[in-house]
């Protein structure tokens, strides 16, 4: 059954105010009352699960300014996309721990950028421990929504992410079902692998607005279902009994036309609920940069547009969870 009000999830902490995945970003999200926070995980060269949005880290750390690591700059193909920069799998955890977090979007979030170069990169274990401590301090359950990045890519490098993740969750006391854990990925195969390892969690399949999941494309080529096909009734039918829900790009609910005008809400949320699947959506952000055209206002990309109107469409569609960058706005809006 859909929730009476959606879970409000701090997307990488509170990145509207602090550099994403930094300690202060998570601390602020908990302070502002989120139901859960969402760490993304990638892997170091020595198998440590590191909290970064991507394995290429030049935009979110000071690695490009570190002369001792200049020779590590390289070009790789990750999930079919060619990228040049510095990659977590080329560093030990001890090396990564010397890097400092930076705001990924400094032109949009100037205030957050004032916290650059002050805080170290975190491990998954750090986030699990701080959420447990925050739950005890506040006297309420706070969850973790763990997003697994590039499982097929890392698998090709020799890492079994399901094994690493299961071991970390068990070691941290998050694998006995006592704490609210959700595991999500754009690749269903890693979700199924963790289910087979007996990790109790809500399992959520992430869906992009376009493209195909890399694990299925690797195995099946162009015969693999696209994300759009998975979001159709027949695609949702195939997920029943395999996952607990889906998490979709908000455009799949808002359904903007080519001019950025709202045509939604689409039937996706209702279709999923009819099949007993939960629906989360990402990402609710107030800045003009991230709103569909209809709701953008004056003042440039960093200014807040008519975010309340966009968010109201998402709320009224009946979603079960929302990822927010500004937890205070999310908590106030979606719980009102």
CATH number (domain holding residue 292): 3.20.20.190
Q: Is residue 18 part of a domain?
A: yes
pLDDT cut 70: percent of the chain above it: 99
Is residue 308 assigned to a domain? yes
Per-residue pLDDT at 168 exceeds 50? yes
Instruction: Give the pLDDT confidence score for residue 88 in this predicted structure.
Output: 98
2, pLDDT greater than 60: no
Count how many domains the chain has.
1
Determine the number of helices (DSSP H) and then strands (DSSP E) in the chain.
Answer: 14, 13
In a domain, 174, yes or no: yes
Tens of pLDDT, residue by residue over 102-135, are: 999 999 999 999 999 999 999 999 999 999 999 9
What does the pLDDT read at residue 336? 80
Average pLDDT, the chain: 97
pTM to 2 decimals? 0.97
| 288 has a pLDDT exceeding 80 | yes
Q: Whole-angstrom Cα distance, residue 302 to residue 116?
A: 18
Q: Sign of torsion, CA 58 288 9 78?
A: negative
Residue 3 has pLDDT above 90, yes or no: no
Q: Give CA angle at 78 (76, 79), nearest 5°.
A: 150
C-alpha atoms less than 13 angstroms from C-alpha of 282 in its C-beta half-sphere: 21
Could you tell me if residue 164 is inside a domain? yes
Residue 299 lies in a domain: yes
Question: 3-state class of 143 per DSSP?
Answer: strand
- Distances in Å between the Cα of 303 and the Cα atoms of 27, 239, 282, 298 are 25, 39, 20, 7
Structure tokens at 104: 């990924």
Give alpha helix (H) positions in 68-115. 93-96, 110-113
Does residue 93 register a pLDDT over 50? yes
Residue 74 is assigned to a structural domain of this protein: no
Phi, psi dihedral angles at 78 (to 5 degrees)? -115, 115
Range of the domain at 225: 7-57+122-334
């Amino acid at each position: 059954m859909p929730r009476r009000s959606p879970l409000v999830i701090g997307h990488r902490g509170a990145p509207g105010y602090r550099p994403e995945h930094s300690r202060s970003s998570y601390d602020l999200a908990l302070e502002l009352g989120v139901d859960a926070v969402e760490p993304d995980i990638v892997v170091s060269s020595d198998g440590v699960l590191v909290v970064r949005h991507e394995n290429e880290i030049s935009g979110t750390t000071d690695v490009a300014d570190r002369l001792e690591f200049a020779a590590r700059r390289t070009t790789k193909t990750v999930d079919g996309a060619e990228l040049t920069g510095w990659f977590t799998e080329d560093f030990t955890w001890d090396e990564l721990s010397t890097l400092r977090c930076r705001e990924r979007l400094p032109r949009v979030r100037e205030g957050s950028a004032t916290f650059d170069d002050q805080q170290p990169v975190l491990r998954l274990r750090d986030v699990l421990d701080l959420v447990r401590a925050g739950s005890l301090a506040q006297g309420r359950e706070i969850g973790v929504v763990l997003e697994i990045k590039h499982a097929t890519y890392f698998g090709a490098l020799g890492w079994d992410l399901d094994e690493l993740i299961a071991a970390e969750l068990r070691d941290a006391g998050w694998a006995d079902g006592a704490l609210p854990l959700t595991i999500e990925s754009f690749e269903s195969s890693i979700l199924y692998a963790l289910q087979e390892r007996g990790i109790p969690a809500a399992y959520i399949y992430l869906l992009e607005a376009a493209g195909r999941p890399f694990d299925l494309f690797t195995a099946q080529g162009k015969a693999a279902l696209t994300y759009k096909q998975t979001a159709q009734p027949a695609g949702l039918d195939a997920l029943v009994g395999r996952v607990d829900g889906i998490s979709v790009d908000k455009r799949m609910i808002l359904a903007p036309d080519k001019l950025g005008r709202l045509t939604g809400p689409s039937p996706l949320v209702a279709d999923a609920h009819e099949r007993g699947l939960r629906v989360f959506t990402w990402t609710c952000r107030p800045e003009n940069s991230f709103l569909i055209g209809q709701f953008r206002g004056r003042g440039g990309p960093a200014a807040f547009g008519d975010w309340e109107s966009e968010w109201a469409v998402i709320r009224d569609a009946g979603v079960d969870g929302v990822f927010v960058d500004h937890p205070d706005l999310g908590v106030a809006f979606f719980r009102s």
